[in-house]
Structure formats: C-alpha cells, structure tokens
Amino acid sequence: MADLSRTLPLKRSSVQSAHERIKEHVQITPVLTCSTLSNLASTPQSPEALIGTHFEGQRPAHPRIHIFFKCENFQRIGAFKVRGAFHALSRLSKEELAKGVVTHSSGNHAQALALAARTYGIPAHIVMPTISTPSKIAATQGYGAKVYFSGSTSDEREAVVKDVIEDTGAILVPPYDHPDIILGQGTMALELEEQAKDCIRKDPALSVHHKGEQEFTNGYRNGTNHTNGTHALSAVSEPGHLDAVIAPIGGGGMLSGIATALHGTGTYVFGAEPSFEGADDARRGLAANKRIPTVKTLTIADGLRTPVGEIPWSIISDKTRLRGIYAVTEEQILQAMRLVLERMKVVVEPSAVVGLAVALYDEEFRGLVEREGGEEGWDIGVVLSGGNTTVEAIAKMFAVSEGKGERMEGKLGGRGERIAENVAG
C-alpha cells in the first residue's frame, strides 16, 4: 500500500477527495425505502421474543423508525469493497503498480481487488480461506486473479500473504486496515446522506420528521441522486438529514470510513455484528476499552469473521465518531435476510443485514431510539453491504434453520402479520 506518510488525513474532506478519484469506476448505488420494514421496526416486539434474553420481563421498546437502505449489493462485484480497492490503487505510484498487488479476503475484497487490478492492467494475487463461498472464489478467478488458499483465521491468511510477497514482490492491499481503504469505503456515506435528502424532498412523508405524515404503503421506492458527495451540510437543520446510520463491522474499514465521512454532520453512526462464537469482537473490545486482535468464528455472516484492524479501531473507539456497536444472533440475521428477500425482493448476503437485524430486534438499540427520538423517532440509514450469495447457499441456510426460522416468525408476535394485512410491501 501507499506509505502511511503519503496518505490523506482521516477526515470528511479526504473522503470527498476519494469520491472524486473513484467515481468513474464505481456505481452510485440506489437508496431504497420499504414501508413494511419501517413499520415492522416501529412496532414493539412481543414479550415472547424477549424470553431468554437479558430484556426478558421488560416492556418491549416502541421506537419510531423510518429506514433508508443504501444498497451496496448493487455495486460492482456485488459489494462495497470496490470503493476501497479502486481508491487504494489510485494512490499507488506507477512503479508500485507494476509489481502487482496481493491481499487476503474471504471473498468481496478479493473480487474487488481482482477487478481493480484488471482495470489497471496489473497482476493480482489473492489469498482466500478454503471455506470461502465457491461462487466468490470463481468470481475472483474470473477477474484474472491468481488465488492461493489458506486457513480461515487472519493469522493463517497473513502467513500465506507473506510467502506470496516474498515470491512475487507484490504490494499488499489489505482488506480494511489502511487509510486509503477506509477513505474509499466512506464514500458510500456521502452518497447516502444526499440520496436520503433527495428521497425526502420528493416525498416528505418518507421522513419521521414530516409533520402531518400519513402512512406510506407502496412498498419500496427508488431514490437516486447523481451527487458527487461534495455538498456542504448544515447539520441537523437541513431537511432530510439522517438521524443515524448503521452498518456492519468485520475488519472495520467500511464502518470507520462511514464514521469519518459523517463526523461533525450531526448524524450518529452505529455498528452491527454477529454474536456467534465471539464474532462481536468490536462490541466486546469497546466494553473492555481494548482492541481484540483475534477472532475465530464460523458465523453465517462470513464477511464479518475478521477482527477489527488497528487503524479502524482508532476511529471506532473514538466516541465522538461512533456512538455504539450492537450484536445480533444467527437466527435474527436469517430472519432479517428473509424479510429483505421476501418483502423488498432484493438479494443480499447474511453479512449485509446485520444492521437491519439490530434495528428490528436489539432492544438496547431500539430503546435508545425510543428515548432519544421521542414521538417523532429517527430516520436511519441502513447499509446493505453486499449480495454475493447463491440460490444454493440461501436454500441451504434456510433449510438447516427452518425450525428456528418458524419460531422466530412466531416470536414476532404478529408484527409481520398485522403489517402485511395493511401494507403491500
């Protein structure tokens, strides 16, 4: 990667500069709304849904939430990672590019760097865990990259990367732990904030802050805005301003980029993780005030199996940049994925929906929105980070968890059924 002494400072203006550098290579992905999911998030969970949690016996939270989905699953290669990959390569010198690039990734960064390398006409060497999704391996190879296989932990991946560098002299482009990656990923937040405003300007009823609002019942709507992300924001006084953005966190490149892009704008930033087998290292690290350097988990959210990097940690551990991180169960992730597939008709991978799962099921987060949003509530941007999955993988996930899925649907206490009677979503 570019030497740290040559990187731009981690601030909003640098994200705006990154957006200018990469805009010819990335899609401005759409922002969608879905009345069914916003209504579901605004309906209390049943007491049965809280049984077995530390919220058991408490009054279920009753927040008011309208969601604006930033659909990075429609991005090139099917995920947000192309933003960081193209920005990273744009910052390398001609001499560095000529050496080729190397990285380790479970799939999305692998594909992104392979595509960026092909665009620049340079070799790409990609280290992937043997348990990576076959379709992601095939796509990475399809972009012309040479794939090497490793174990699933970050230590095992990095050992193979070291060997590749010794053999080829390739330049390491890490999946998340570098300012150029962070700034590139943060560009989605610039688009999201402007697209949400554009949606609300066209239809004020999409915002919880619209006075005299009536229920919106036409499913999801496409709010596109061809902004370059350089608009100067006048904080929360501006109509259409998002109250919060919530995004998944694995290595932390995307979440720290979003936190950097939105710092000082008045929009709170939150992270979302799986809780399975200690995948919630960022949440636990914040509680202990110490970064957790290793994670070994087989959560279905395979893009979030890595520990937070050192540079992303320096950002997300700053309370002026990140408000908090919440974690959800595998069952809740699957249920959120089912809702996006069935109600929005949008294909996503499990990692993409952890933020939505937090908005729907995490009582701590929902209670915070209820307390601070009051009767008006919050407009929340939710990042759908990617859609790299297959019909076979989706079928297998839901076949294995069919009984759990049915129990989870029952725990909704009629939330879905009541809304479905009134909303065509």
Measured between alpha carbons, how far is residue 219 from residues 204, 264, 332, 340, 370 in Å?
A: 16, 33, 22, 12, 24
Tally of structural domains, the chain: 2
Judgement on whether residues 119 and 196 belong to the same structural domain of the protein: no
Percent share of the chain, pLDDT over 70? 87
Judgement on whether residues 221 and 355 belong to the same structural domain of the protein: yes
Judgement on whether residues 99 and 169 belong to the same structural domain of the protein: yes
pLDDT in tens, 124-178: 999 998 988 788 899 999 999 999 999 977 788 889 999 999 999 999 999 999 9
Rounded Cα distance between 188 and 257, Å, is 9
In a domain, 1, yes or no: no
In a domain, 6, yes or no: no
Judgement on whether residues 108 and 37 belong to the same structural domain of the protein: no
What is the domain range of residue 156? 81-178
In a domain, 354, yes or no: yes
Judgement on whether residues 185 and 320 belong to the same structural domain of the protein: yes
Judgement on whether residues 170 and 292 belong to the same structural domain of the protein: no
In a domain, 4, yes or no: no
In a domain, 348, yes or no: yes
Judge whether 106 counts as a catalytic residue.
yes
Is-contact 49 411, C-beta < 8 A? yes
Dihedral (CA of 142, 143, 146, 149) sign: negative
Rounded Cα distance between 215 and 213, Å, is 7
In a domain, 2, yes or no: no
In a domain, 3, yes or no: no
Instruction: Single out the catalytic residue among 70, 81, 136, 411.
Output: 81
Q: Look up the CATH number of the domain holding residue 367.
A: 3.40.50.1100
Pair of tokens at residue 74: 């429609």
9 CB-near residues (< 8 Å, 6+ apart): none
Judge whether 207 counts as a catalytic residue.
no
Judgement on whether residues 69 and 85 belong to the same structural domain of the protein: no
Instruction: Single out the catalytic residue among 35, 105, 106, 207.
Output: 106
Of 137, 156, 178, which residue is a domain's last?
Answer: 178
Judgement on whether residues 261 and 129 belong to the same structural domain of the protein: no
Judgement on whether residues 279 and 315 belong to the same structural domain of the protein: yes
Judgement on whether residues 107 and 197 belong to the same structural domain of the protein: no
Return averaged pLDDT per consecutive 10 residues of the chain, 425 residues in all. Answer: 81 98 97 98 96 92 98 97 98 96 91 97 95 88 96 85 96 95 98 97 95 46 39 50 97 97 98 97 98 93 92 98 98 97 97 98 98 97 95 89 53 45 34
Of 178, 207, 239, which residue is a domain's last?
Answer: 178
> pTM of the full predicted structure?
0.89
